[in-house]
Structures are given as structure tokens and as C-alpha cells.
């Protein structure tokens, strides 16, 4: 499982948007988003830049 830190999430709608963006990527499954930790975890073999682009497009930032 891969875990990323996301900056800018503040509510359950943010969590839902993040989950939907990640689940929309081919090759990603088992997405979980934790608002308290500002993290998302997922299974899959998708490039980090692809994930980062998907998160950026919905208005959040991936912290390296």
C-alpha cells in the first residue's frame, strides 16, 4: 500500500473528492482517505506524477 500526504483537505467533501479522483485512475484500488492525518492510501502500480496530477486537478497539493 502506498500512502501520500495531501495538503488542503478540510472536510468530508474533500475526502470524497480525493477518493473519487484516485479511484478514477486506472490501476488503483483499495483507496482510503484520512482527513485527520491528511493522507490517502491506495494499492496499485501507478506513477507518483500521475497521482500527484490527479490530486492537483481537484485543488489539493501532494506533499513529498
Residue 64 has pLDDT above 90, yes or no: no
Give residue-wise pLDDT tens across range 2-61. 999 999 999 999 999 999 999 999 999 999 999 999 999 999 989 999 999 999 999 999
For residues 61 and 57, give the distance between their C-alpha atoms in angstroms, rounded to a whole number: 9
Q: Are 4 and 51 contacting, i.e. CB atoms less than 8 angstroms apart? A: yes
pLDDT, residue 5, reads 97
How far is it between the farthest Cα atoms of the chain?
A: 28
> How many CB atoms neighbour CB 55 within 10 A?
22
Q: Are 54 and 17 contacting, i.e. CB atoms less than 8 angstroms apart? A: no
Domain ranges of the chain: 2-63
Which class is domain 2-63? alpha beta
For residues 27 and 9, give the distance between their C-alpha atoms in angstroms, rounded to a whole number: 24
Amino acid at each position: 500500500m502506498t500512502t501520500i500526504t495531501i495538503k488542503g483537505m478540510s472536510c468530508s467533501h474533500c475526502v470524497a473528492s480525493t477518493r473519487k479522483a484516485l479511484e478514477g485512475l486506472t490501476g488503483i484500488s483499495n483507496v482510503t482517505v484520512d482527513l485527520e492525518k491528511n493522507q490517502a492510501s491506495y494499492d496499485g502500480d501507478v506513477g507518483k506524477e500521475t497521482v500527484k496530477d490527479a490530486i492537483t486537478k481537484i485543488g489539493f497539493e501532494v506533499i513529498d
